A and B are shown apart, each in its own frame.
Chain A
Amino acid sequence: MTYHQFLREREQIDYLIEQGYYMKSVKENLSGSFVEFEKEDSLSETRDIQTLHITNADARKYFSSLLIRQLRKHHE
């Protein structure tokens, strides 16, 4: 079911956000959206990068809403 696919992808997005990742870049093509998440470790001065392949339309809306929230927060 489409809804279950949405739930799966939303969980993946939520998990990374909860772990302190933020959206670094989004590339969109015929296969959907590839969202690159990044987390900075201030202690080790390393950066960890994770990429999610988002195929569900509702999940694309979901990360887009979070992205706008992230950008607004960053701007404040």
Chain B
Amino acid sequence: MADLSINLAGIKSPNPFWLASAPPTNSGYQVQRAFEAGWGGAVWKTLGEPILNVSSRFAAISFNGQRVMGFNNIELITDRPLEENLKEIYETKKRFPDRAIVASLMVEPKREKWHEIVKRVEDVGVDGLELNFGCPHGMAERGMGSASGQVPELVERQTYWVKEVARTPVIVKLTPNITDITATAEAAAQGGADAISLINTINSLMGVDLDTWNTIPHVAGKGAHGGYCGPAVKPIALNMVAECARHPRIRIPISGIGGISNWRDAVEFMLMGATGVQVCTAVMHHGFRIIEDMIEGLNHYLDEKGIASVMDIVGKSVSKYSDWGDLDLNYKVVARIHRERCIQCNKCYISCEDASHQCIERLVDENGKEYLKVREEDCVGCNLCSIVCPVDGAIEMVEVPSEHPPMTWNERQAALGRLSGCSVDIKSL
């Protein structure tokens, strides 16, 4: 059995699976039940001045038979008094001393407000703090959440204020509702953050009811933008984690969040630089017990690979994530259709004809049987045919050896620059 324990900026937990700050971490009752099920940590639902919520609050997109591909909420931070939450945090930490309890915090961008809440929360024994600069709805209109998180100067300043008094590690949770997330991640690092977590939810409108013309969800006939999460956002989150992980000025640990539903997703985030992961939508869909499969799956994966500690996989794929200009232009793959597996549905043919390079031919063999064949010299290796093919293994993407050594766009442009007399380092060619 591999060692699943992690240490994220000094916050230790027996496994990398934490519950994200959200409805599943709203109370001591829930967090304690989650810990009983096996979760390694929990980020307590955001504390601040208690708010008023609306009804209804959630909506989901189901796609092609899969429920809750994407999820949206217009719920705000905790609606319970701080004292009540602190009492339950204290009790939970006492019962589960080995689990990580991180308090999510959100207050106005005022120094004394941050100092007050940090001191009160740390007094009950939390293992760390997570500053919520991410929620896009409700609190943002009051200058908090993503309203702060979209302004690097505010992120840096508020992180600095927290670090002035904090005794536990400070994680800054980032909003994806920004052009370049590394700008705010760098600001957090500049402000002294011990770690960053990402992503918070994405601005969204889930839908419109075609009969009533109301938004989904609606509150007495009116709607508002909400925060989008769930499996649909995973690729967006993974990219943002990777961008932060490979950034030379963001040298702090990352807690990965965004559509993580199983151990495979968690491994992907950790390979791309996350020291641990936070989960919410999958728990809202399936309950706390999904942790059993996550732990078991991760253990098997590590054992099969002969990896002793889950910390050993952190960041192992970061160097493989680069810029387009560094990709090899001479690398080539082509599609190959395996006739024995092809069911002649023609989906690949249609896709290639309409959206790619018209390189699949419909032929007839000597027995009069129709078959599909890729004209490999015209295939650009775009993958579309293999993506739309409904039969696993019927279309294979095969690497074609190149007669030329690797050549990137950047190298090509450097060579053109040399011809035109621009100064270019020959070693880059």
Measured between beta carbons, the chain A residues less than 8 angstroms from B407 are 61, 64-65, 68
Measured between beta carbons, the chain B residues less than 8 angstroms from A17 are none
The reply to whether A72 and B329 form a contact with Cβ atoms under 8 Å apart is: no
The reply to whether B419 and A67 form a contact with Cβ atoms under 8 Å apart is: yes
> A23 with B419: in contact, given A65-B404, A71-B426, A71-B429 (CB under 8 Å)?
yes
Q: Chain B's interface: helix, strand, loop or mixed, by majority?
A: loop
B211 beta carbon closer than 8 Å to chain A: no
The reply to whether B330 and A65 form a contact with Cβ atoms under 8 Å apart is: yes
Chain A, range 1-41, C-beta contacts under 8 Å to B: 1-3, 23-26, 28
A65 to chain B, nearest CB (A): 4
The reply to whether A64 and B378 form a contact with Cβ atoms under 8 Å apart is: no
The reply to whether B415 and A75 form a contact with Cβ atoms under 8 Å apart is: no
Chain B, range 408-429, C-beta contacts under 8 Å to A: 411-412, 415-416, 418-420, 426, 429
Measured between beta carbons, the chain B residues less than 8 angstroms from A28 are 416
- Bound-state CA distance A48–B282 (Å) is 70
Contact for B329 among A2, A23, A25, A61, CB less than 8 A: A61
- Bound-state CA distance A67–B404 (Å) is 11
Chain B, range 374-423, C-beta contacts under 8 Å to A: 375, 377-378, 404-405, 407, 411-412, 415-416, 418-420
Measured between beta carbons, the chain A residues less than 8 angstroms from B375 are 3
B251 beta carbon closer than 8 Å to chain A: no
The reply to whether A3 and B426 form a contact with Cβ atoms under 8 Å apart is: no
- Bound-state CA distance A71–B375 (Å) is 34
- Bound-state CA distance A26–B422 (Å) is 13
B249 beta carbon closer than 8 Å to chain A: no
The reply to whether B378 and A3 form a contact with Cβ atoms under 8 Å apart is: yes
Interface size class of B (residues with CB under 8 A): 10 to 19
Q: Name B379's closest neighbour in chain A (CB-CB).
A: A3
Q: Name A23's closest neighbour in chain B (CB-CB).
A: B419
Measured between beta carbons, the chain A residues less than 8 angstroms from B420 are 25-26
B67 beta carbon closer than 8 Å to chain A: no
Interface size class of A (residues with CB under 8 A): 10 to 19
- Bound-state CA distance A68–B375 (Å) is 30
> A2 with B378: in contact, given A68-B429, A71-B426 (CB under 8 Å)?
yes
B94 beta carbon closer than 8 Å to chain A: no
Contact for A64 among B357, B377, B415, B426, CB less than 8 A: B415
- Bound-state CA distance A41–B375 (Å) is 43
- Bound-state CA distance A61–B429 (Å) is 15
Measured between beta carbons, the chain A residues less than 8 angstroms from B329 are 61, 64
The reply to whether B378 and A68 form a contact with Cβ atoms under 8 Å apart is: no
- Bound-state CA distance A42–B40 (Å) is 78
Measured between beta carbons, the chain B residues less than 8 angstroms from A64 are 329, 407, 412, 415-416
The reply to whether B404 and A26 form a contact with Cβ atoms under 8 Å apart is: no
Measured between beta carbons, the chain B residues less than 8 angstroms from A23 are 419
A43 to chain B, nearest CB (A): 26
Measured between beta carbons, the chain B residues less than 8 angstroms from A67 are 412, 415-416, 419
17 further A-B pairs in the complex, CB-CB below 8 A; given A3-B378, A67-B412, A72-B429: A1-B378, A2-B357, A3-B375, A25-B419, A25-B420, A26-B416, A26-B419, A28-B416, A61-B407, A64-B407, A64-B412, A65-B330, A65-B407, A71-B426, A71-B429, A72-B426, A75-B426
Closest 10 CB pairs of A and B: A65-B404, A3-B377, A64-B412, A68-B415, A3-B378, A67-B415, A75-B426, A26-B416, A65-B407, A61-B329
The contact sample of 29 A-B pairs, CB cut-off 8 A, is A1-B378, A2-B378, A3-B375, A3-B377, A3-B378, A26-B416, A28-B416, A61-B330, A61-B404, A61-B407, A64-B329, A64-B412, A64-B415, A64-B416, A65-B330, A65-B405, A67-B412, A67-B416, A67-B419, A68-B411, A68-B412, A68-B415, A71-B415, A71-B418, A71-B426, A71-B429, A72-B426, A72-B429, A75-B426
